[in-house]
Amino acid sequence: VLEGLLIAAQVVGIAHVWLYLRDEYHDARVLLQRELDTLQGRLQALTAQYPGYTPPVIELRRGAGAYICGEESALIESVEGKRGLPRLKPPIVALHGVFGRPTLAHNPETLWWLPEVLAHGGAWLTTHGRAGRNGLRRFSVSGRVKQPGVYLAPAGITLRELIDEHAGGMAEGHTLYAYLPGGASGGILPAALADVPLDFDTLAEHGAFIGSMAVVVMGQHDRARDAALNLMRFFEHESCGQCTPCRAGTTKAVELIQAPVWDAALLAELSQVMRDASICGLGQAAPNPVDSVLRFFPHEVGA
């Protein structure tokens, strides 16, 4: 990651880099700080060896645990020492970012891949993949599987293949019932769609997306409605409260989906308002789990 960071900074002409890390990730912080300390010595040697090279200033900024800071402008607000509230756009952060300067916001995984692609070539990366997709993806697999973990797998792999080839199969006593393909807001899909490729363009027609590639596997003893309620409570808690559709919408959704029988029409209207009027991705995507239950698991909610 740090090598990719330095390469990107040199190519683009970056003067200052902030690495933003949630403070709950204690072990990651210790590891990252140790590597940054080591890197400073190496950069001093490089500067002496190549007088024209000026490395960027690298600063590790610790966040206070807010899901909303996954949104790039909220992250930048937090870096500046303010509450992590998403900014209205335009301007976009590439033009007006940290302290008003043009800023590029990247996921560290993107930076991790940069040295790999430069070392092996783009053609090497495209030799991996299935179902017409190219490349490799990192999937975090949890839930009712024998071997939860993070796995590097070909782009276009299906959930069934991911479970069988990497996660050791389903956990003892569990059969596949449903799964979350892309983290909290990626939707909930039934086992009948376990052979759909897990990639960016394949899940949209099913109202889901791959997102952070955090796959959660559910068994026959789990209920999709329970997962949706858990997720909506999470969104309610993590909403920054800046805009009414998200702040009030998540609270209203939590109330509605605790009923034994769901009011499908009212939930659909609420979902559309949240998608149309929330100012950032949290509120826009929060209805996905509820919409998925109404679409694929209506037998659970009497809809």
Residue 111 is predicted with a pLDDT of 94
Helix (H) or strand (E) holding 17: strand 16-22
Tokens of 159: 């959930």
Rounded distance, CA 124 to CA 174, Å?
38
Each residue of 49-94: pLDDT tens digit? 888 888 999 999 998 878 999 999 999 999 999 999 999 889 999 9
Pick from 292, 264, 298, 184: which is nearest to 231 by CA? 184
Coil, strand or helix: which one is 152? strand
pLDDT for 41 equals 86
Q: What is the pLDDT of residue 11?
A: 93
The two beta strands, 136-143 and 214-219, are: parallel
Rounded to the nearest 10°, the torsion over CA 218, 223, 226, 231 is 30
* Residue 196 region by backbone torsions, left for phi larger than 0, else alpha for psi between -120 and 50, else beta: beta
Task: List the structure tokens of 301.
Answer: 């909610």
Structure-token pair, residue 184? 């909290």
Distances from the Cα of 77 to the Cα of 33, 62, 99, 179, 301, angstroms: 22, 13, 9, 34, 40
Q: Which two tokens stand for residue 89?
A: 């756009």
- What residue ranges of the chain have pLDDT lower than 50? none
Helix, strand, coil percentages (3-state) for the chain, rounded to 5, are 45, 15, 40
- Sequential DSSP letters for 99-133: GGS------HHHHHHHHHHHHH-HHHHHTS-STT-
Which pLDDT does position 201 carry in this prediction? 86
Q: Which amino acid is at 131?
A: A
